[in-house]
A and B are shown apart, each in its own frame.
Chain A
Amino acid sequence: MSKKEESKTPMLDELEDGPWPSFVTDLKNLAKKKPAIGQLLGQLEQSYEERWDHWLGTVINTPGYGGGIIARYSDIGNKFPDIAQFHTIRVIEPAGWVYSTDALRQLCDISEKYSAGILQFHGMTGDILMLGSNNEKTLEAAEELMEKGWDIGGSGNGMRTLACCIGPAYCEMACFDTLKTTKFLTDTFISQLHRPEFPYKFKFKLSGCPNDCACSIQRSDMPIIGTWRDEIQVNQKEVKKFIDEKGEEYVVDNVITRCPTKCITLKNKKIEIDDKNCVKCMHCINVMHKALAPGKDRGVTILLGGKRTLKIGDTMSSVIVPFMKLDTDEDYEKLIDLVRRIWEFWTEHGMDHERVGEFIDRVGLGTFLDGIGLEPDPQMVRHPRTNPYIKFEELAPPKIGGEPKAAPNVVDKEIEGREMVVEMKK
């Protein structure tokens, strides 16, 4: 193709003005050595003019994988032949999004060699996106990525690439090792990530503390969030310093009265906390982070069932394990066991395109807990039910209607080893 085909882009040019950095300027510079980018901008300009998209989506798989490549074909490929095939590779990111420049340069080299030279840090799921290669080069790029120790994956009806906060790498709030757990879960379930086998996608996100920087409750099927079950650590010397600096009124307005369970009080420039009623919301610790810190007996709270809008509106995850330790190999085994039970029950009974949260809504949380072998816990709900129409299994007369039910209820499914995963404090 001749290089003269570079399109004029008056509308996109308007996005080059202003103080914020412009992706248009960046791509225009790239177009000087990558003619395909000129055509990409040409197509984008056309989209701006028509307010209409020009990409078609489909599936391409590299051998041995069922996910990881987002195939895109231009529907005006005759006009922009260099981007007729313009696929994205989803590369699994390092936990916590930490990089060495060597690693980033390696990604740059692979991107430039096989594709259009565009990288995105990161996709909404958390993975690295490498944009713009054709059918053949996509597979070659994937091979080289894997040769160099990277891995791809996380699309389709399977486990998605995990995401986590920076955790113990530099944050003092981290109550468990988010980076280690992210790598552990990714590696343990790498097959589910590469070869989709579920009713629909499944996302884990991990946050080191209830500040939930990974937005896990709203954005993942299974949030794992750090917490503690003993007392908040209080450094009264620092408390006094904080009060002297900011004034008592400030502390009352911005710390004491903001506590959701009113469990924190101020007396003689000292803070007292009724830890039994603390719900670990983090607010006081966030404001007075030199004086207060999470307790020492740390672990995680696990939730289940969050997702974004389609199809039933947004759902937040809800508590499934109020607290468990996550230190030893056995703790990690318990976590793996819990995940397997959830997947087994959901995969067996979930409908096509039904996220685990939608599945729970359909069968009921009580039935779901039976199915995965977890005991109900008051911390799983805001309050007990208000609706009186209840099917008490134990109180119903036996064989109602004369004959046992022909088709077993989903509750009847037996799962081996039904002991509780939840560890209760003694």
Chain B
Amino acid sequence: MAEKKKMAPRDNGSPDYKKFLHPMMAKNYGKWKYHENIRSGVNMYVAESGDRLYVVRAGSTRTMSVDTVRKVCDIADKYCQGHLRFTSRSNLEFLVTKKEEIEPLIKEVNDKLGFHVGGTGHSISNILHTQGWLHCNLPGTDAAGAVKAMMDVLYEDFINERLPQRVKISTSCCQINCGGQADIAINLQHHHPPKINHDNMKICEHPKVVAICPVAAIRPAKKDGKDTLEVVEEKCMYCGACHGQCPSMEIRDANTDTLAIWVGGKSSNTRGGPSFMKLATYGLPNNPPRWPEVSDAVKRILNAYKEGAKEEERIGEWIERIGWKRFFEVTGFKFTKYHIDTYRYARTTFNTSTQVRL
């Protein structure tokens, strides 16, 4: 008889965050008064008790070896009483209680980790990215590489707070767009219906693949006497929903996939509330290892934004004020029929007034 292995406890749940809080956070929990930006990348949080917590933000690579994580721990042990935190955009936050330790900490972060301190206030925060070719089963590009190359170009705007408002950038490797809404987003675009691998169709549940198509373009079919699926090409909008459901519905194409850039997404409820991003330009080549055309286009948007936006205006709010006509003028991107929505609620995106900028 095979030996039955002991099973570890099940359903432990969420780890107890109270054990992980920095002592100053635990002491002043819920009793914070205000915060102040004391230099780029460093915020000071002042508690009602008078305690001051300095939060030093550094951009990580998100994908880290255990050795790098241990180096991070060494620094946190030395300066942060063994506590730290990550932000939603894969920044590290070192928690310091003595002001004089900020600069030595930053030096170690720079020297030992090679990470930069910044990403606070009116700067570019760390770029969100998805798994890409490193570990996903669906990607048409590698967001991690594009992010690294882009941050090389943009990092001055990460370490300085010199933009009109914060700028959040994200990337996505397929049209599921895991990277999320952002002020500027770089997303992959497919250009033809899925190519069906009929020999491999047996591994998927056909009804599920049919049902997932948002435009009802997939239907059952017979090929060489075997059950398979077919795609009505006129209906298909190349979203790739079927590919996620069934690997035999291959939507990607190394020769034709391109990248598109979207602008004006915002999560916060401030002022006009959250907004979705809109298409700025498309057809950029999927060009590893450094995707220079993408960095150029992003830089072009950022320069125009820096030039033209008022203080406190996010990219979407700036464009709303100056109008899309002007946006295309100042960025030099061409407005084409592909910028006009064709999907549900398209009419709600048309200009139904005489309000035009002449």
Interface residues, chain A, with chain B CB atoms under 8 Å away:
11-12, 14-15, 17-27, 29-30, 40, 44, 47-48, 50-57, 63-65, 72, 86, 88, 92-105, 107-109, 111-112, 117-122, 124, 126, 131, 142-147, 149-151, 162-163, 165-166, 168-172, 174, 177, 179, 182-183, 186-187, 190-191, 194, 210-219, 225, 253-254, 258, 260, 280-283, 286-287, 289-290, 308-314, 316, 351-353
Contact = CB atoms under 8 A, between A and B. Distances in A.
B161 interface: no
Contact of B34 (A142, A218, A289): A289
Interface residues of B, number: 115
A66 B25 CA distance: 36
B357 interface: no
Contacts, number: 348
25 contacts: A15-B145, A18-B148, A18-B149, A29-B65, A40-B134, A51-B141, A65-B10, A88-B135, A97-B85, A98-B84, A99-B86, A101-B73, A102-B82, A147-B9, A151-B15, A170-B32, A174-B32, A212-B269, A214-B88, A217-B269, A254-B311, A287-B312, A289-B35, A310-B175, A310-B176
Interface centre among A27, A120, A210, A316 (most CB of B within 10 A): A120
A194 B311 CA distance: 46
B267 A212 contact: yes
B115 A169 contact: no
Contacts of A56: 137, 247
Given A51-B286, A281-B273, A286-B270, A95 B14 contact: yes
B179 to A, nearest CB: 7
Given A151-B11, A311-B239, A211 B133 contact: no
A284 B270 CA distance: 9
Given A26-B65, A254-B311, A308-B180, A190 B11 contact: yes
Given A23-B63, A99-B83, A104-B73, A311 B269 contact: no
B139 interface: yes
Interface string B39-61: 00000010000000101000111
Contacts of A253: 310-311
Interface of B: 5, 7-17, 19-22, 25, 28-30, 32-36, 45, 53, 55, 59-70, 72-73, 76-77, 82-88, 90, 113-116, 128, 130, 133-142, 144-145, 148-149, 151-152, 155, 175-181, 208, 211-214, 239-241, 244-245, 247, 252, 254, 257, 265, 267-274, 276, 286, 288-290, 310-312, 343-344
Secondary structure at chain B's binding surface: helix, strand, loop or mixed?
loop
A177 B152 CA distance: 37
B144 A23 contact: yes
Contact of A100 (B7, B45, B82): B82
Nearest to A55: B137
Interface centre among B45, B212, B289 (most CB of A within 10 A): B289
Nearest to B175: A309
A53 B270 contact: no
Nearest to B9: A146
A86 B134 CA distance: 11
B354 to A, nearest CB: 21
Given A19-B116, A30-B65, A98-B25, A210 B269 contact: yes
A364 B311 CA distance: 41
A48 B142 contact: yes
A38 to B, nearest CB: 13
A117 B15 contact: no
A7 B123 CA distance: 38
A62 to B, nearest CB: 9
Given A56-B137, A86-B135, A311-B214, A124 B20 contact: no
What are the 5 closest A-B residue pairs judged by CB atoms, nearest first? Answer: A18-B152, A57-B137, A146-B8, A210-B269, A168-B30
Contacts of B270: 210-211, 281-283, 286
Nearest to B33: A172
A216 B268 CA distance: 9
A53 B12 contact: no
Contact of B85 (A63, A107, A118, A166): A166
B259 to A, nearest CB: 11
Contacts of B5: 143
A101 B77 contact: yes
B61 A51 contact: no
Contact of A11 (B34, B114, B289): B289
B128 A124 contact: yes
Contacts of B72: 104
Contacts of B65: 26-27, 29-30, 117-119
A53 B69 CA distance: 27
Contacts of B142: 44, 47-48
A101 B82 contact: yes
Contact of A282 (B11, B21, B60, B269): B269
Contact of B67 (A29, A64, A187, A211): A29
A33 B56 CA distance: 31
Contacts of B286: 51
Contact of B155 (A20, A169, A182): A20
Contacts of B77: 101
Contact of A22 (B19, B61, B311): B61
A218 B21 CA distance: 28
Nearest to B286: A51
B114 A53 contact: no
A341 B269 CA distance: 27
B171 to A, nearest CB: 11
Nearest to A179: B17
B237 to A, nearest CB: 10
A97 B86 contact: yes
Contacts of B85: 96-99, 166
A299 to B, nearest CB: 15
B115 A151 contact: no
Nearest to B170: A124
Given A95-B14, A313-B343, A352 B211 contact: yes
Contact of B274 (A101, A144, A212): A212
Contacts of B7: 63-64, 143
B88 A53 contact: no
Given A15-B145, A187-B13, 5 more contacts: A15-B289, A107-B69, A119-B66, A124-B179, A254-B311
A92 B15 contact: yes
B70 A121 contact: no
Given A23-B148, A146-B8, A98 B21 contact: yes
A34 to B, nearest CB: 8
Nearest to A113: B66
Contacts of B34: 172, 289-290
Contacts of B135: 55, 72, 86, 88, 131
